Chains A and B, each alone.
Chain A
């Protein structure tokens, strides 16, 4: 079966750095996405990785290792507005998105 694992909840302090991990087992691989979702809102796109390595975009970076079936989202200089759920999704061989359950990130002052 296809499976994506990510921690259910994480807590971090404002101004700090947090890393949210995602591991996956899917039928084929055509890219990994990270989305941010605030409560009561639809997900918004954060990053896309299809090759191994680190993609940096401002305070957010995403890393991918295809051989290990592993990705992480790194958030730096955390702000209160970063409190949200972070969803990891993998596009499989049929170009279907397989979703993780999401990681709820709580930022404390």
Chain B
């Protein structure tokens, strides 16, 4: 199946700093990528839809100025958590839509963010 990578897998940062998470589709071109957030023992919460070459579409309640998304190429989308606070600590997962396979989504391995 298609492969999506995510980097870093774990990151610990201090409150007030910014953190960038990368999501790459390794063997297909993804015009659309998705960013999810997951709290412990909860289901996935879609944060935003990232479209290559255009602005991301944010879900209601997600601060676009805090969670900056850039989809600069067909294989890379980045999520930057700006001025991170402890409440931003979570598991962030990206997925990419494979247009060759009925637009099936493939997930990256996730990034565990801890803000101290």
> CB-defined interface of B64-91 with A at 8 Å, one 1/0 digit per residue?
0000000000000000000000000001
Cα-based distance from A95 to B103 in the complex (angstroms):
8
Q: Which chain A residues border B91 with CB–CB below 8 Å?
A: 40
Chain A interface size range: 10 to 19
Number of A-B contacts (CB under 8 A): 40
Q: Which chain A residues border B46 with CB–CB below 8 Å?
A: 96-97, 99
Closest to B105 in A: A97
By the criterion CB–CB under 8 Å, are A99 and B109 in contact?
A: no
Given A99-B43, A100-B43, A101-B42, A45 and B106 contact (CB-CB distance below 8 Å): yes
If A33-B104, A45-B106, A45-B107 are given as contacts, then 10 extra A-B residue pairs at C-beta distance below 8 Å, sorted by A number, are A31-B102, A40-B91, A40-B110, A42-B109, A87-B43, A95-B103, A97-B46, A99-B46, A100-B43, A101-B42
